[in-house]
Amino acid sequence: MNSVNATAETAVLAKTPFLLITPPSRWWAIPLGELWSYRELLYFFVWRDIKIRYKQTAIGAAWAILQPFLNMLVFSLFGKLAHIPSDGLPYAIFYYSALLPWMYFAAALQNATNTIVENQRLITKVYFPRLALPLSAVLSGLVDFGVSFLMFLVMMVYYGIRPGAAVLWLPAFLLLAILTALGVGLWLSALNAIYRDVRYVLPFLVQFWMFTSPVVYASSLVPVKWRWLYGLNPMAGVIEGFRWSLTGRGDPPGRMFAVSVGVVIVVLLSGIGYFQKMETTVADVV
């Protein structure tokens, strides 16, 4: 009788979710399983970011087109004045194809960096995997990216540029941009939770980063010998890749791209590690 009861009890216990709370350990793991079980919350975070972004703006999501478009106009003007080589592409296409990933990246990085500080109330009041915050910040930027990409399609038709098979590579470059924003965003959001200085450093960082990326110029300006080194900036690989896959000009992914991928993996894994270290104390700190 007793043993029957005991097994019935353990069966009940086994069915209910079990949670063990312990002091933080030295080890960290990527909590993919947990993130998966919180996927609905992730969805709601992304949804919230998108909903709020253009509330109380007069033209709403049109900003997603206007921002890269205005940038493109300014850059084209300078490009023309300074006779910047554009690999034989119209300036509009040359710049817009770079601004697409760049503006996504800059916005995603900014959102991800501020996300822990902006959601500190939430963090101190309820549990969810904290990784969901920078992850959703990075993902929600994709909607703007999609909108501005539609604009690019229109421009392609206008200039009569037809992408080749290389366009199949585009998702890979986009993924690399997402992971770069996530990796760096993890580092910066964790640092920002501790040192609010990060918030002030960020605009300079983004600006500096843009000039070290082939946004306003083509990476063909960089001597071939140093191209791989240039790949240490993963956005260089991403932007060059975007141009190549969308227009067919420039170089297909080579050593530079491989270096970029390597850098992103390192930044991402270390970012997750650092973020989780911060995560254990963040509710006590923010």
Q: Give contact residues for other proteins (rule: CB under 8 A).
A: 9, 12-13, 16-24, 40-41, 44, 47-48, 51-52, 55-56, 121-128, 193-197, 280-281, 283-285
Give the nearest distance from C-beta 99 to other proteins in angstroms.
28
| Beta carbon of residue 146, minimum distance to other proteins (angstroms, whole number) | 22
Cβ proximity to other proteins, 20 vs 165, nearer residue: 20
Nearest distance from C-beta of residue 145 to other proteins, angstroms: 22
Distances from the Cα of 130 to the Cαs of 41, 135, 136, 169, 257, in angstroms? 11, 9, 10, 31, 30
Residues 6+ positions from 234 with CB-CB distance below 8 Å: 176, 180, 260, 261, 263, 264, 267
Token code pair at residue 213: 């990326």
AA identity, residue 280: T
Q: Which is nearer to other proteins, 38 or 209 (CB)?
A: 38
Q: Toward other proteins, which CB reaches closer, 212 or 280?
A: 280
CB of 23 to other proteins, least distance (A): 5
Neighbours of 279 (CB within 10 A): 20
Residue 21 in contact with residue 127, Cβ under 8 Å?
no
DSSP 109: H
Nearer to other proteins, 22 or 83 (CB): 22
Question: For tokens 């104390």, what's the residue?
Answer: 281
